[in-house]
């Protein structure tokens, strides 16, 4: 059976109905033979692929394949980061516009209060006083709604940022937390990492802190990485302390920031402080100071250097000879 074109009256391709297919042995046998040949070709190709993969997973070929897979993952992550950066920028502009509206509504409320105090008609139950009260209540309701949208959007964007950087916890005795498939460094075991991994981890953490400060509208000491690892860690500790205060992860009566930072670094280290901040988990402090004592860079630098010296391997940090990338899941 063939299909004939209604314009040129030429037959195009053969089409068989279900009855002909099942009742004609020649047609059915030919289709079955073609199906069997296709299945055989598929099995041969699968065996070839298995053989190639087994050969590739030995010796130098394994390193080459791992390097290619790592480069592919890095390219995918860069593409996702670029896409999320664009989305975060759009959300930042939206949050900025809502913040401006929030400020304008606050100014309207203050102006309304001043007008009501200055107006004699605001006393008693005059029509002018009722109208001002109605406008005041309406503006307050709008202000509450805008505040809810602003804070919920900010929290949602922060959680999306955590997912974007792939911050995870894993079962490892030395480095229990990772960011973008890299270990989050800590002061006790940092000497076990190669130099380029330490700097790559610091770069990822600083990039996260920089974007998070813009999403949360929080002013943090954004110093970034530097040639001196201890200096970069000191600035990072100060920035994380600001985020800890923002999320209220320590008791409100803990006013001594120096004592708070010292207790956090001794009990949680840099990586634990970073992970608890991202997960919005409270930090238990053995002791708190009720006297205000702000931190500065000199204190953070001294505290970080002191903890590194206590690990007994401060000299190993700048003398690493291992120059290989290693990614963790």
pLDDT in tens, 204-215: 888 888 888 888
Buried b (16+ CB within 10 A) or exposed e, 149-187: ebeeebeebbeebbebbebbeeeeeebbbbbbbbbbbbb
* CA distance linking residue 189 with residue 185, whole number of Å: 8
**Is pLDDT of 122 > 50?**
no
Q: Is-above-0.85 flag for pTM? A: no
Parallel/antiparallel/unpaired status of strands 168-169 and 2-4: unpaired
Percent of the chain at pLDDT > 70 equals 75
Task: Give tens-digit pLDDT for 48-64.
Answer: 888 877 766 665 566 66
Q: How far apart are CA 303 and CA 262, in angstroms?
A: 7
Region for 169 from its dihedrals, namely left if φ exceeds 0, alpha if ψ lies in -120 to 50, beta otherwise: beta
Q: State the Cα–Cα distance between residues 175 and 169, nearest whole angstrom.
A: 9
Between these two residues, 10 and 268, which has the higher pLDDT value? 268
Measured between alpha carbons, how far is 243 from 247 in angstroms, rounded to an integer?
Answer: 6
Cα gap 154→216, rounded to integer Å: 6
Q: Once rounded to an integer, what is the mean pLDDT over residues 105-111?
A: 81
Q: What is the pLDDT of residue 44?
A: 92
> Mean pLDDT, to the nearest integer, of 113-120?
63
Mean pLDDT of the chain: 78
- Per domain, the residue ranges of the chain are 2-56, 80-156, 165-329
pLDDT of residue 322: 45
Q: What is the pLDDT at residue 41? A: 93
Place of tokens 């139950």: 125
Specify the range with the lowest mean pLDDT, choosing from 240-244, 258-262, 313-317. Answer: 313-317
Contact 92, 212 (CB under 8 A): no
- Which pLDDT score is estimated for 6? 62
Whether the pLDDT of residue 324 is over 60: the answer is no
Sorted by sequence, the CB contacts under 8 Å of residue 296 that are 6+ apart come out as none
208 vs 206: CA distance, rounded Å: 5
């Amino acid at each position: 059976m063939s299909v004939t074109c209604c314009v040129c009256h030429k037959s195009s391709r053969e089409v068989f109905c279900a009855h002909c297919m099942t009742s004609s042995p020649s047609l059915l046998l030919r289709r079955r033979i073609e199906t069997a040949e296709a299945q055989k070709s598929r099995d041969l190709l699968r065996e070839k692929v298995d053989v190639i993969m087994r050969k590739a997973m030995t010796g130098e070929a394994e390193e080459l394949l791992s390097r290619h897979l790592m480069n592919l993952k890095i390219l995918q992550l860069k593409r996702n980061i670029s896409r999320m950066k664009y989305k975060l920028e759009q959300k930042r502009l939206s949050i900025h516009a809502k913040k401006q509206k929030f400020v304008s509504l606050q100014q309207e409320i203050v102006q309304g209060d001043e007008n009501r105090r200055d107006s004699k008609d605001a006393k008693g139950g005059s029509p002018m006083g009722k109208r001002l009260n109605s406008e005041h209540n309406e503006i307050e309701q709008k202000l509450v709604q805008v505040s809810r949208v602003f804070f919920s959007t900010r929290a949602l964007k922060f959680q999306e940022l955590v997912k974007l950087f792939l911050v995870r916890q894993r079962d490892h005795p030395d480095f229990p937390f990772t960011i973008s498939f890299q270990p989050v460094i800590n002061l006790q075991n940092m000497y076990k990492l190669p130099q380029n991994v330490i700097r790559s981890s610091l770069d990822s953490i600083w990039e996260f802190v920089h974007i998070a400060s813009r999403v949360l509208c929080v002013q943090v000491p954004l110093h970034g990485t530097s040639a001196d690892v201890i200096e970069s860690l000191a600035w990072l500790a100060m920035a994380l302390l600001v985020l800890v205060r923002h999320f209220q992860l320590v008791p409100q009566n803990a006013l001594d920031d120096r004592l708070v930072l010292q207790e956090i670094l001794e009990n949680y280290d840099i990586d634990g402080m970073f992970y608890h901040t991202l997960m919005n988990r409270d930090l238990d402090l053995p002791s708190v100071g009720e006297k205000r004592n702000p931190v500065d860079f000199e204190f953070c630098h001294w505290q970080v250097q002191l903890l590194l010296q206590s690990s007994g391997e401060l000299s190993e940090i700048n003398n690493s000879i291992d120059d290989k990338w290693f990614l963790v899941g």
